[in-house]
Amino acid sequence: MDYADLLRTATFLANYVDPTDLDGRPSEANLRRSVSTAYYAAFHALSQSCADTLVGPYSEDSNEEYWVAAYRTLEHRQVKNKLNNGERMTRFSDQVRDFAKRLGDLQDSRHRADYDPEAVLEQDDVLQLLINTQAAIEGFNAVPERERRFLAVYLIATLR
């Protein structure tokens, strides 16, 4: 799953106006799906980083099974709980902590967009959320591989 493709889809949804819609704004459903898709873009960026740092870049000829296993290891609730562990997270750089905060905020926004029938989403707010998500992913991907590997181990291992 390409996180960049998910972000493009989220941006398309946030900007798409049905030509038959007289108010000239994106639909509520499109804005809600855009927010949800932004969260999944960030989560898939994290999943890819974990797989790449633990197994190596995806390669069908040698490591596909292990790469996919590492990619699919992350569970949403567990990731959020671990990324919210202030004591453990102090060991990571500001860029990793910023990404962790953004991912938690995105998950909250996704839950609101997906499950709160009274939530009102404004196009400008959703577009800013997408800009912030892109910046958080880029910042996270710029973190040295060694630190991202430590984060991967932290997220998938049971530390005793």
Tens digits of pLDDT across the chain (160 residues): 899 999 999 999 999 998 888 788 999 999 999 999 999 999 999 999 999 999 988 876 667 889 999 999 999 999 999 999 989 999 999 999 999 999 999 999 999 999 999 999 999 999 999 999 999 999 999 999 999 999 999 999 987 7
Predicted TM-score (pTM) of the model is 0.94
Would you give the DSSP letter of residue 94?
Answer: H
Cα 7 to chain centroid distance, Å, stands at 10
Of residues 101, 100, 84, the one with CA closest to residue 148? 100
**Who's near 53: CB < 8 A, 6+ residues apart?**
145, 148, 149, 152
Q: How far apart are CA 146 and CA 54, in angstroms?
A: 10
Structure tokens at 116: 């709160």
Spatial contact of 121 and 14, defined as CB atoms under 8 Å apart: no
